[in-house]
Amino acid sequence: MKNKKPHIVFLTPGFAASEKDSTTIPALQVYLKNLQTALPDAKFTLIAFQFPFSKKTYSWNGMKVIPLNGRNKHLKKLWTWNKALRILKKHHRKQPITAIHSFWIGECSMIGTRFAKKHALNHITTVMGQEAHVTNTYVESLKNSETKICTLSKNQHALLLEKHHINSTIIPWQLDTNSFPELQASSIDILGVGSLNEVKNYSTFIAVISLLVSTNPALKVGIIGEGNQRSLLEKQIQELHLENHIKLLGKLSRKEVLAKMAQASVLLHTSTYESFGFVFLEALYSGMQIVSFPVGIAENSDYWQVCNSESEMVQACEKGLSTTKENKERIASPCKTESVSSYLKYYNE
C-alpha cells in the first residue's frame, strides 16, 4: 500500500443487513469499525456473497457494501463467483485495490486468491469457523498461493495444521468495550448464549442444569438464541420439569444480550467447537464466571473453568455460583494481540 491511497476489499459470505443489525458476525463488525478509525482516509469496499438477501448496494457506517444475493443456493454459485470477479475488476479499475481480505476458507478465499494472484495484490484469509478441521475442498486453492492465512486461537491454529497441514498466524479478535452497560447484582444465575444448533450442544447444557437444580432449587437460567434445535430443547426442558428454571429468550439484539450478561453470574457454554468464541470476551467483560469445554480461546483461570465432561461442568457451575453476586469484576480480554495493527502489517506488505 506504499505511496497509494489504501483501498481494501473484504469478501465475506454474509454481513449485517444494516447498521441496526448488531447480531450478524459482531466480531467482524467491531473489527471493521476499529479499522476505519485507524485508517480514516482509506476506501473500504465489502462484497457479501450470500446474504443479506438483497441486490441493493448500501452504506454501513460509511463503508460500501455490495450484496450478491447468492441466497446459499448451489445453482447460483458459479454466477455469484463470476459476479464477484466482475465487481472486483470494476472497482480495481476505478481505484486500485491495495489488499483483499477474505473470511472463511471457502468461496470468498478462493475468489480472493484468484483475483489477487492475477493482479499481484496482497490477500489475507481469516479462518472463521469449522473449516479448520472438516473436509474442505476450498483448502486446495490456498495451497501454493501467496495468501496469508490467519486463525483466531491456538486451538484453531492446531486443528488447521493437523487436518490440512497449513500453518497460520494467530490474530484474535478484540472487544469494543464502549457499548457495555453497567454491571448489576445478578438476577440470572446461569446464562447460555448462542444459536440453538447441534454444535452449541444445548442438550448437555440442559442436562447440567437438571443436575444443578437438585441442590439449587431456586436456580434461574436463561438461553439466548434461536435455531433448528428449539423444539427438541423445549421438549427436553419439559421432560426434565425445568420450565420454572430455564427460559428460552429467543434472538436478542447485541445490546439486549449485553444487558442480560450484566445481570448474570455464570456463562455456561457447552459448545463442542469454537474457532474463537467472541461471547467469551463479552462474558468476561460483563463480570461473569465462565464454564466451558476446551474450545476457542478457553483457558483455565480464577474466572474460567475449562471442563472435559458433564460432571465437571456441574462442579464448575457450583463453584461459579458460590462466587459473590454483588461485587463483579470486569476482566479485560486475555488476547494481547491488537487485531487492527496485526492485520495492517499484512495490508501494507
Using one digit for the tens of pLDDT, what is the confidence trace for 244-279? 999 999 999 999 999 999 999 999 999 999 999 999
Q: pLDDT tens digits for 212-253?
A: 999 999 999 999 999 999 999 999 999 999 999 999 999 999
Question: What's the half-sphere exposure (Cβ side, CA atoms, 13 Å) at 101?
Answer: 23
Q: Which residue type occupies 261? A: M
SS3 123: strand
Question: What's the half-sphere exposure (Cβ side, CA atoms, 13 Å) at 181?
Answer: 14
| Cell representation of residue 269 | 457454554
| 89-101: average pLDDT | 97
- Report the C-alpha gap between 164 and 49 in whole angstroms: 25
pLDDT number for residue 1: 46
**pLDDT above 70 coverage of the chain, percent:** 97
Q: Which residue type occupies 281? A: L
Q: What angle do CA 249, 252, 253 make, to 5 degrees?
A: 165
pLDDT number for residue 196: 98
Q: Characterize 115-150 residue by residue with b for buried, 16 or more Cβ atoms within 10 angstroms of its Cβ, and e for exposed.
A: bbeeeebbbbbbbbbebbbeebebbebbeebebbbb
Q: pLDDT tens digits for 44-57?
A: 999 999 999 999 99
Element (H, E) at 51: strand 43-51
Measured CA distances, 241 to 20, 87, 213, 228, 235 (Å) = 37, 55, 10, 22, 10
pLDDT number for residue 324: 61
- Report the C-alpha gap between 64 and 349 in whole angstroms: 24
